[in-house]
Amino acid sequence: MPELPEVETIRHGLEKHLVGNTIVDVEIRLAKQFTGEPKNIIGAEVVGVRRFGKGLVIDLSNGQSIAIHVKMTGQLVIGGRPMTVGNGRYPNKWTHVIFKLKDIFLYYSDIRQFGWIKIIQSSDLKAQSFFRDLGPEPLRDLTQAKFFDILQNSRMPIKLLLMDQKKIAGIGNIYANDALFIAKIHPKRMASSLTQKEKTAVFNGIEEVLKKGIEVGGASEWNYVNALGEKGGYQNFFQVYNREGELCKRCGGVIERMKMGGRGTFYCPGCQRL
DNA sequence: CCAGCAGCCTGTGCGC
DNA sequence: TGCGCACAGGCTGCTG
């Protein structure tokens, strides 16, 4: 599911192919996923694409922005009309918004229809609850000192804390599971109970998995694709995520699955002791 | 204030 | 073959 590395990969692709292009038309096929005035962006030029946690912002030359959250199954794919990439064709029955630019189309497709697109004044972004409440960004402004502080002041299990966007932005289920495996920390450990050494290990584990995720273009275990409709490769590097019953790459033990906060949680009982 | 959970959705894969 | 169900899960909003 799109987390920081996947959204960053999409962001990079959109930036590369959309900046300098002008929006000509917007076709809204599923109104509930779209808010704001589409006419506010017609004729405006794309000047930049930013990412905040798992959220994307396409900035326009007229002071307007297109804020997007793809949630689990949203895809942002650019190309001609129609276009085919691998087995994917766009537009398709799940394509709910189509941005027509001067030289290219941008398709928003979303099987589960959980994502959202908002046209908003750029200066109002920070007032939007999603952006306003985001915690610091790993690989950007989350320093080790800040990370220690967040853990120290929490009364949550470490895994739930890592996934809490208000505490730290961008980490979802895949990378939370794998980061804790790398740090050899059990997901149920209370965050504040970690030693300095353990906190450092988690901090480094987060950096490692996120950087690896970005390096290989994200995880396409489900239906994630980048802005060109291509799959990523991180599913080939899963340490524990979705590997229940398979062998631990470090100790050879059997990966187990449990539930935390309603979500599948994977760990190696040999390497990650409570 | 916080933890826990339903709801939003549809496709997939399983057991019967 | 098809039905019912669990599951995937980020985020919002409600409840206790």
Write the pLDDT tens digit of every residue in A187-237: 999 999 999 999 999 999 999 999 999 999 999 888 899 999 999 999 999
Residue type for A12, please?
H
Residue A1 has pLDDT above 80, yes or no: no
Element (H, E) at A116: strand A116-121
Q: Which pTM does this prediction carry?
A: 0.95
Q: Across residues A12-28, what is the average pLDDT?
A: 97
- Among residues A29, A100, A249, A263, the one annotated as catalytic is A263
Q: Across residues A176-184, what is the average pLDDT?
A: 94
Is the domain spanning A144-267 CATH 1.10.8.50? The answer is yes
Helices (H), ranges, chain A: 4-18, 129-132, 144-152, 158-163, 173-183, 196-215
| Comma-separated ranges of CATH 3.20.190.10 domains in chain A | 4-132
- Mapped to the 3 state alphabet, what secondary structure does A1-61 carry? CCCHHHHHHHHHHHHHHHCCCEEEEEEECCHHHEECCHHHCCCCEEEEEEEECCEEEEEEC
Secondary structure letter of residue A223 according to DSSP: S
Q: Which strand B bases fall within 7 angstroms of a protein CB?
A: 2-6, 8-11
Residues forming a β-bridge with A100: A25, A105
- Among residues A11, A51, A54, A159, the one annotated as catalytic is A54
**pLDDT 10s digits, A54-106:** 999 999 999 999 999 999 899 999 999 889 988 788 999 999 999 999 999 99
**pLDDT 10s digits, A39-55:** 999 999 999 999 999 99
Q: Which residues touch strand C (CB under 7 A)?
A: A 1, 3, 53-55, 69, 71-73, 112, 114, 129-130, 133, 163, 165, 172-174, 222, 242, 257, 262-264
| Comma-separated ranges of CATH 1.10.8.50 domains in chain A | 144-267
Least confident stretch, A12-16, A95-99, A265-269 = A265-269
Residue A2 preceded by cis peptide, ω within 30:
no
Quick one: which residue's CA is nearest to B9's C1'?
Answer: A112
Give the pLDDT of residue A258: 87
**Cβ–Cβ contacts within 10 Å for residue A247, how many?**
12
Q: What is the mean pLDDT of chain A?
A: 92
CATH of domain A4-132: 3.20.190.10
